Amino acid sequence: MPIDSFRPQSWNGIDDIVIVGGGLAGLFCALKLAPRPVTILAAAPIGQGASSAWAQGGIAAAMSPGDTFEKHVADTLEAGAGIVDEKMARFMVSEGPARIHDLLEYGVPFDRDLEGKLLLSREAAHSERRIVRVKGDMAGKAIMEALISAVRKTPSIRVLEGYVVEELVREGRFISGVVARPDAGQSKNRVHFPARAVVLCSGGVGHLYAVTTNPWEACGQGVGMAARAGAIIADPEFVQFHPTAINIGRDPAPLATEALRGDGAHLINSAGHRFMLDIHEDGELAPRDVVSRGVFAEVQAGRGAFLDCTKAVGAHFPDMFPTVYASCIAAGIDPVTQPIPVVPAVHYHMGGVLTDAEGRTSIDGLWAAGEVTSTGVHGANRLASNSLLEAVVFAARIAENIKGMLPEPKINDWGKNAGESDDLVTIEDSPALKRLRRVMSDHVGVIRSREGLATAIREIAALERENSRMRFHNIVTTAKLIATGAYLREESRGGHFRSDFTEQKADWKHRTFLTLADAEKVVADLSETAAA
């Protein structure tokens, strides 16, 4: 049955605010909105489908005696390769310490020194020690556990788990609700949730690619939904690859946190050569895009890439980095005595739904926070541990903004019988998604070219034509935006590297703003070229 030939059931009542996504941004926003009624719609049990829960590094905040907001902003601007929105970055950095104290009040057990002060670490491209961590590599897990506990105890927050949001409902210039499918997206019925405000916190795009560190839920549906509703998408071409995913054939790939390199671990090839010293003066602590290309080149050349922690961490590994240690031991690798095989993996999307300083998108009634957005604070390449900071800062700003301006509710009769749907195949197991992930990794990955991107765009268009399922259309729309953004940007900058345009260009020193209609025009032009 065609996807538009049935009508979803209607939720009996109206939700004041609906938050799409149960990750860090969604939970933090809900807590900041209390005691205002909020419904969180999460595809998986809250925390389980969130990239935030897997974050190993921590949160960056200028809180040490020798650090300043100016230094943190300067590091952010440097990492972002010339296109960071400086005003937005200053908002984020200046509000960071207050948000850290919020998290402490919610019960997050950040590491402290013997005097009880927050223990701050350093990561790549940071000029100071400003990373707040939990037990070395467990920050994301600990933060999410604390927030989940706080949410469960807050009576104004209703959590509906297993609801896959498939569509934003637009009436005129307003988003007036969402349509979701229960039972982890496997139900035959869809449910409409009218709302006075919708906050999109649906996460990233990692599973558009064959190798990623992200959970399965991070497959770009939020960006695709927003684009299909008419929202402006910013900087979609900028995808950050983490240079040190553990190369043991797991999907998602486990992560060897950047903190290991911050603590002195070295990258070597199979001959034991520290290849990053040949590429950048900062060696292993160079920006992630530089390190990713270095690791990628060694792997492609057949020499392999390995993270050697045996001297820098050694016997302390099990206590200092228990998550990484467990992943290695499960694969038969002892990181105390053996180098860890690594490979670049999609880790973070700098692009996403365009928002302003209050988290408002280009459509009234729709706000967004977290990795689904492009606030401009990351530019072309995210500075390590700024992502969790961005999530909590802008989630809090959204809460303040919504409190001051709620649109009037409007409820429509959406009918009672949802009928049957052909949208019940598990997306994760579908041949179409496997094909899409391979196309994205082959042609829209660490190194890109005009020819490869054109091939990818045509393949994406073919996949879209061949598949009618709503969720897949959201996913493939995001892939289309990333590929077309990369095709149009004829230079190399930050996380975007073109083998045919290897240098930065002054006339490209700006952000990208695309609508779905813009992307469709590129698809049409390439289709005409192929047919000619």
- The residues that are catalytic are 288
The type of residue at 131 is I
Burial bucket for residue 380 (CB in 10 Å: 0-12, 13-18, 19+): buried
Three-point CA angle 113, 117, 122, nearest 5°: 70
Separation between Cα atoms, residue 24 and residue 133, nearest integer Å? 15
In 3D, which of 172, 82, 124, 83 has the Cα closest to residue 364?
172
Cβ contacts of 343 within 8 Å, gap of 6 or more: 211, 245, 247, 253, 295, 296, 299, 305
Separation between Cα atoms, residue 341 and residue 318, nearest integer Å? 18
* Phi and psi, residue 192, nearest 5°: -95, 130
> Looking at the DSSP assignment, which residues form a beta bridge with residue 246?
342
> Looking at the DSSP assignment, which residues form a beta bridge with residue 65?
none
Which residue in the block uniquely carries the two structure tokens 């590994």?
Answer: 317
Q: DSSP assignment, residue 253?
A: P
> Looking at the DSSP assignment, which residues form a beta bridge with residue 179?
167, 192
Cα 353 to chain centroid distance, Å, stands at 12
Q: How many CB atoms lie within 10 A of CB 173?
A: 10
Alpha helices (H) along 49-108: 69-79, 86-105
Cβ contacts of 457 within 8 Å, gap of 6 or more: 480, 483, 484, 487, 522, 523, 526
Q: Give the 3-state secondary structure percentages of the chain, helix then strand then coil, rounded to 5.
A: 40, 20, 45
Query: Do 356 and 405 contact (CB within 8 A), yes or no?
Result: no
